[in-house]
């Protein structure tokens, strides 16, 4: 990604063929009550999800996790839930619980089945090396979730 922060920053769009990234952009636009992102490109909206190793080292893990970062974690797991819903019709809940030190859990569940789960640590530094990595990791959660729904359909519907 270029460092261009302009409104029309149409940089790499390769990743955006990914159904996961599409779902993620939709999550963010869907929550955008005040039209803050209306004129932003998809790439620009996704940009804060890219946090390189170098940049991670610069982010302090002292104190509470920034609310904007928390919202980003929630959006990531909600996008997973949305993708699984698209494929299976199962409605799921997303719970993100973080303590004051940035440790906690992100959970996506339907019925009694945990479709996705991640133990979070250093949540202050939540992010991915590139848009492609973001797409890959998101999609791999989705695939794992779909596999579970297929193996244990009963549990997901309880």
For residue 98, count CB atoms less than 10 angstroms from its CB and return exposed for 0-12, middle for 13-18, buried for 19 or more: buried
Closest C-alpha to 88, from 115, 107, 61, 65: 115
Dihedral sign, Cα of residue 92, residue 38, residue 123, residue 128: positive
Q: Contact 96/74 with Cβ under 8 angstroms?
A: yes
Minimum CB–partner distance for residue 115 and a second copy (Å): 8
DSSP string, 106-152: EEEEETTEEEEEEEE-SGGG--BSSHHHHHHHHHHHHHHHHHHHHH-
Q: Which stretch binds a second copy (CB under 8 A): 42-50, 62-70, 83-91, 99-107?
A: 99-107
Minimum distance from residue 107 beta carbon to a second copy (Å): 7
Using rule CB under 8 A, residue 122 touches a second copy: no
Binding window for a second copy (CB under 8 A); candidates: 27-35, 42-50, 131-139, 149-157: 149-157
Cα–Cα distance between 65 and 83 in angstroms, integer?
26
Least distance between a second copy and beta carbon 116 (Å): 10
Q: Which tokens sit at 97? A: 């619980």
Which residue among 55, 112, 121, 157 contacts a second copy (CB under 8 A)? Answer: 112
Instruction: By CB under 8 A, name the one of 1, 16, 59, 117 that touches a second copy.
Output: 117
Query: Is 148 near a second copy (CB under 8 A)?
Result: yes
Q: Does 114 contact a second copy by CB under 8 A? A: yes
Does position 95 bind a second copy by CB under 8 A?
yes
In the list 96, 131, 134, 142, the residue contacting a second copy (rule: CB under 8 A) is: 96
Nearest to 92 by CA among 68, 55, 117, 122: 117
Task: By CB under 8 A, name the binding residues for a second copy.
Answer: 93, 95-97, 104-105, 107, 109, 111-114, 117, 148, 152, 154-155, 158
């Amino acid at each position: 990604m270029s460092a261009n922060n302009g409104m029309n920053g149409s940089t790499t769009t390769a990743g955006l063929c990914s159904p996961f990234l599409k779902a993620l952009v939709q999550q963010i636009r869907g929550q955008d009550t005040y039209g803050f992102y209306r004129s932003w490109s998809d790439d620009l909206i996704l940009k804060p999800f890219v946090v390189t190793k170098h940049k991670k080292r610069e982010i302090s893990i002292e104190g509470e996790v920034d609310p904007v970062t928390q919202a980003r974690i929630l959006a990531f797991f909600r996008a997973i839930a949305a993708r699984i819903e698209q494929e299976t019709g199962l409605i799921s809940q997303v719970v993100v619980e973080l303590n004051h030190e940035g440790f906690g859990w992100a959970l996506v569940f339907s019925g009694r089945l945990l479709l996705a789960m991640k133990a979070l640590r250093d949540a202050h530094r939540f992010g991915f090396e590139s848009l492609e990595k973001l797409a890959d990791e998101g999609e791999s959660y989705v695939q794992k979730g779909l596999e579970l729904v297929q193996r244990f359909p009963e549990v997901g519907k309880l």
